[in-house]
Amino acid sequence: MSVSLRELWSVFHGLIFGSIFLLAFAGGLAGLYSLKPEWVTVAGLAERIRRLMAGTWVMALVAWATVISGTYFIYPWYRAQPPEGADLANFPQSLLLSNLETAGWHTFAMEWKQHVAWFAPILATTVAYVVAYYGPQLAKEQKMRRTLLWLFVVAFAAAGVAGLFGAFLNKVAPVR
Amino acid sequence: MRIKDKPNGPAAAAVLAGAIGVFVIGVMTALAAASDAVGNMLRWVGPVGPLSGKTGLGVIAWLVAWTVLGSSYNGKNVNTEGIVRWSRVLIILGLLLTFPPVFALLGNVFK
């Protein structure tokens, strides 16, 4: 039983960082949605805000770890050009493009994933900053809370597209 | 517990800056698809290719916008409705421009 360095990075990128982000989203969304003055006590509000701040900053940091590890560690292995006569199984992008039936996994799935994934850390950091900036006042700021919910959902959708296609690509042409 | 009101300027600056950052990623993606010269200029990190420049410029635009807007809106209350509306437009455009059929179409039209 062995795992190569490349496979280990893929596990950290998708299974650990990516999964933490996607899983934490539900908690963050519920925390933001339910942050209404009429739904929480004064003591409860302070505790909620502390939890929400910690959760959103963890999400933002994990999102950065996911895109940086994906772009600067795994992607170069994915797109490396094979030498003449090499086994394409070790060169995922070339393997996918070598067959019309699989080319779409690169031209659509990978192309979309690699760009849209970067929306997640930028928008998650924005949400984390605004939550930290307002603190308990956020409960009164209904419009801003709605805006943050929207940004949060877009960040999740971007990470979801990246995660979903990442999982498929890892099946069709894994980085080994 | 008494909550002291903070001005909305810094929060609005952060939201608009985030939207500008993702919009720039979208614009760079479309420009790289439309022009090989732009694509080559965006190869900041060789093994990563143009993706390094597209996302690098997006992150720089985000941080610069945040710094500039943050200092202009610091301590002020601003019209968040307009800022939120523009932010949504920029984010939706960013999403569209990073969608492969859209940037491939733009690439074919302008190449």
> In this predicted model, what pLDDT tens digit does every residue of A67-107 receive, in sequence order?
999 999 999 999 999 998 889 989 999 999 999 999 999 99
Contact call for B91 and A154, based on CB within 8 A: yes
Residues B8 and A143: beta-carbon distance below 8 Å: no
Q: Does B58 contact A at CB distance below 8 Å? A: yes
| DSSP 8-state secondary structure symbol assigned to residue A99 | S
- Which of A79, A116, A123 comes nearest B49 by C-beta? A79
Give the Cα separation of B102 and B107 in Å (integer): 9
Contact call for A116 and B95, based on CB within 8 A: yes
- Residue among B15, B81, B84 with most chain A CBs within 10 A, to mutate: B15
Closest CA to B42 of B57, B23, B64: B57
pTM over 0.80: yes
Task: Mark A78-114 as b/e (b = at least 16 C-beta within 10 Å).
Answer: bbbeeeeeeeeeebbbbbbbeeeeeeebbeebbbbbb
Closest CA to A156 of A13, A23, A34, A14: A23
Give the Cα separation of B56 and B42 in Å (integer): 9
Q: Which residue of B has its CA nearest to A81?
A: B47
ipTM score: 0.95
> In this predicted model, what pLDDT tens digit does every residue of A28-54 receive, in sequence order?
888 888 888 777 787 788 888 999 999
